[in-house]
Structure 1
Amino acid sequence: MNILILGTSNSILKNGYVSGLKRALPNASWTSLSSGASPGIQFSKYAKMDFTSYDLVVLDSVPNDEQYALQTPGYSYSNQNKRILLEVVSTISSQTKLIVLGIAIRDFFAKPSAIYTDRENLANNMGAQFIDFSSLLKVYQYLYDDVYSNHPAHPKDEISNKIGYYLGVAISHHYDHITNGAECVDYSKNFEIVSTHLNEGEIRNYKNSLTEAQYLECEKGHTMSISTQKKLIGFFVNGFQTNTFIQLTADNGAVLTVPLLYKRMEKGFLNLFAPLATFQTIKTLTVVDQYEGALQFKPRMTTGKRDIHTPKLQLGSFIHWDSEDESNLTAYNKVSNSNHLVLSDTVKNSVTDEVLKAIQASYTQSSGLTKIRYFFKLLRFKHRFKVTSLK
């Protein structure tokens, strides 16, 4: 089985859910194109990829989308954002089986955000499987005082690893019975990935055990012309080697300033997608030293101020998009009688069984007041998760 993962930092963590997946599917081949601290629209970079070469694609972007759309001033959860994600999901699902992973950040764990709910509805309508990670973590709350790590977007590795393992087992059991979205549309023609600038100038190449990347190094005053008529939705940068402002000049003459004020490191690379708050056709990009006035939007992980060094930008690919139907969001409306939770429900059964057995064991091995507490914990657990008998 050939599996592609398009994910957040949750998909990169050494002992996270991917490690559990690999334990359950030891003979699978894996490709990861994951990137942390970047919204899900970054994956439109791969819209023209041949997804039929993969038996399964896992898409994990909910936590970064929640942080950008709901916790980043100046960045909105616009219809254009939703439409781009719709087209990415539809394009993948039109070619192969797709799992959409729903990992919420801590702030939206108790009550699902609009991002989380919309993502389940989108998976439902596009013939994809949705993994309701939050519902699984709520079962584990009966074993753990806190199901999240110190990072607001990362469930504890131990828990994620077990969920990943159960998901892998569920995939092996149900793979032949889940389908791709045969009626989905391939929207790849709506996207244009521009990287011609990576063939000239001072190019920096990076590689680590997970991925590799290439950037054009730009210093103060560097101006680049952009020829496409499609709207610019964002671009990739090396966050470890970028601290500058850039000015984007639109086709109507408007000038947009974006602060790419990341904390520079002595070496290495951090591949980040810097989205624009509003999408429009851009004609030029210029690296500038400073900017006076109020900035409406600062990409995540930026520091908010210029450092003492010469302004520098390490620039990767641009992503451009245009759609004739960008206002059509009907796929976000819930459709009944879907089997989009087959894998998620199977995983939940495994998690429920594990936690039930653990509580039962603690009840059996305890005495006195502790035994009474475990007895009532068992009753609450059975009632909440509709467990009909103790095993």
Structure 2
Amino acid sequence: MNILILGTSNSILKNGYVSGLKRALPNASWTSLSSGASPGIQFSKYAKMDFTSYDLVVLDSVPNDEQYALQTPGYSYSNQNKRILLEVVSTISSQTKLIVLGIAIRDFFAKPSAIYTDRENLANNMGAQFIDFSSLLKVYQYLYDDVYSNHPAHPKDEISNKIGYYLGVAISHHYDHITNGAECVDYSKNFEIVSTHLNEGEIRNYKNSLTEAQYLECEKGHTVSISTQKKLIGFFVNGFQTNTFIQLTADNGAVLTVPLLYKRMEKGFLNLFAPLATFQTIKTLTVVDQYEGVLQFKPRMTTGKRDIHTPKLQLGSFIHWDSEDESNLTAYNKVSNSNHLVLSDTVKNSVTDEVLKAIQASYTQSSGLTKIRYFFKLLRFKHRFKVTSLK
């Protein structure tokens, strides 16, 4: 089985859910194109990829989308954002089987955000499987005082690893019965990845055990021209080697200033997607040292101020998009009869069984008041998760 993962930092963590997946599917081949601290529209970079070469694609972007759309001033959960994600999901699902992970950030764990709910609806209506991670974590709350790590977007590794393992087992059991979205549309023609600037100037190449990347080194006054008429939705940068302001000049002459004020490191790279708050046709990007006006939006992980060093930008690819149907969001709302929770329900059964056995063992091994507490904990657990017997 050939599996592609398009994910957040949750998909990169050494002992996270991917590690569990690999334990359950030891003979699978894996490709990861994951990137942390970047919204899901970044994956439109791969819209023209041949997804038929993969037996399964895992898409994990909910936590970063929640942080950008709901916790980043100046960035909105716009219809254009929704439409781009719809087109990415539809394009993948039109070619192969797709799993959409729903990992919420801590702030939206108790009550699902609009992002989370919309993502489940989108998976449902695009013939994809949705993994309701939050419902699984709520089962584990009966074993753990806190199901999240110190990072607001990362469930504890131990828990994620087990969920990943159960998911892998569920995939092996149900793979032949889940399908791709046969009626989905391939929207790849709506996207354009511009990287002609990576063929000129001072180019920096990076590679590690996870990925590789190429950037154009730009200093103060450097201007990159852009020829496409499609709207710019964002671009990739090396966050470890970028601290500057940039000015984007639109086709109507308007100038937009974006602060790319990341914390520089001595070496290495951190591939980040810097989205625009408003998508429009851009003609030039210019590196500038300072900006005195009021900034309405700054990408996540930026520090808010220029450092003392010469302004520098390491610039990757631009992502552009245009759609004749950008206001059509029917797939987020229509009712579908697809069984999009087959895998999630199977995983939940495994998690519920594990936690039930753990509580039962504690009840059996305890005495006195502790035994009474575990007895009532068992009753609450059975009632909440509709367990019909103590086994």
Say yes or no: TM over 0.5. Answer: yes
Cα deviation, residue 311, structure 1: 0.1
Q: Partner residue of 1:347?
A: 347
CA distance in 2, matches of 1:333, 1:347: 26
Which string of whole-angstrom CA distances, capped at 9 and with x for unpartnered residues, describes residues 263-315 of structure 1? 00000000000000000000000000000110000000000000000000000
CA distance in 2, matches of 1:335, 1:103: 23
CA distance in 2, matches of 1:213, 1:336: 40
2:67 is the alignment partner of 1:32 = no
Cα deviation, residue 335, structure 1: 1.6
CA distance in 1, matches of 2:223, 2:241: 18
Which string of whole-angstrom CA distances, capped at 9 and with x for unpartnered residues, describes residues 74-122 of structure 1? 0000000000000000000000000000000000000000000000000
Q: Partner residue of 1:300?
A: 300
CA distance in 1, matches of 2:34, 2:147: 23
Cα deviation, residue 52, structure 1: 0.1
**What's the secondary structure of 1:111's corresponding residue?**
coil
CA distance in 1, matches of 2:267, 2:293: 32
Cα deviation, residue 224, structure 1: 1.1
Which string of whole-angstrom CA distances, capped at 9 and with x for unpartnered residues, describes residues 149-191 of structure 1? 0000000000000000000000000000000000000000000
2:125·2:336 contact (CA, 8 Å) conserved in 1? no
CA distance in 2, matches of 1:239, 1:364: 53
CA distance in 2, matches of 1:175, 1:128: 12
Cα deviation, residue 336, structure 1: 4.3
Which string of whole-angstrom CA distances, capped at 9 and with x for unpartnered residues, describes residues 354-378 of structure 1? 0000000000000000000000000
Cα deviation, residue 240, structure 1: 0.2
Which string of whole-angstrom CA distances, capped at 9 and with x for unpartnered residues, describes residues 315-372 of structure 1? 0000000000000000001424320000000000000000000000000000000000
Which ranges of structure 1 fall in alignment gaps of 5 or more residues?
A: none
**What's the secondary structure of 2:315's corresponding residue?**
strand
CA distance in 2, matches of 1:115, 1:81: 11
**What's the secondary structure of 2:146's corresponding residue?**
coil
Cα 1:7–1:165 shift into 2, 3 Å: same
CA distance in 2, matches of 1:91, 1:364: 52
Deviates more, 1:216-225 or 1:335-344: 335-344
2:250 is the alignment partner of 1:256 = no
Cα deviation, residue 221, structure 1: 0.1
TM-score between the two structures when normalised by the length of structure 2? 1.00
Cα deviation, residue 254, structure 1: 0.3
Cα deviation, residue 22, structure 1: 0.1
1:124·1:334 contact (CA, 8 Å) conserved in 2? no
**What's the secondary structure of 1:233's corresponding residue?**
strand
CA distance in 2, matches of 1:366, 1:335: 49
CA distance in 2, matches of 1:223, 1:143: 56
1:190·1:323 contact (CA, 8 Å) conserved in 2? yes
CA distance in 1, matches of 2:93, 2:263: 37
Q: Partner residue of 2:167?
A: 167
Which ranges of structure 2 fall in alignment gaps of 5 or more residues?
A: none
Q: Which runs of structure 2 are paired with 1:126-275 in the superposition (5 Å)?
A: 126-275=126-275
Q: Partner residue of 2:361?
A: 361
CA distance in 2, matches of 1:224, 1:318: 11
Supply the RMSD in Å over aligned alpha carbons.
0.4
2:237·2:273 contact (CA, 8 Å) conserved in 1? yes
Deviates more, 1:332-341 or 1:69-78: 332-341
2:2·2:55 contact (CA, 8 Å) conserved in 1? yes
CA distance in 1, matches of 2:335, 2:207: 43
CA distance in 1, matches of 2:348, 2:223: 53
1:72·1:300 contact (CA, 8 Å) conserved in 2? yes
CA distance in 2, matches of 1:267, 1:8: 22
1:101·1:131 contact (CA, 8 Å) conserved in 2? yes
Q: Which runs of 4+ in 1 moved over 3 A?
A: none
* Count of aligned pairs: 391
Which string of whole-angstrom CA distances, capped at 9 and with x for unpartnered residues, describes residues 41-64 of structure 1? 000000000000000000000000
CA distance in 1, matches of 2:225, 2:214: 19
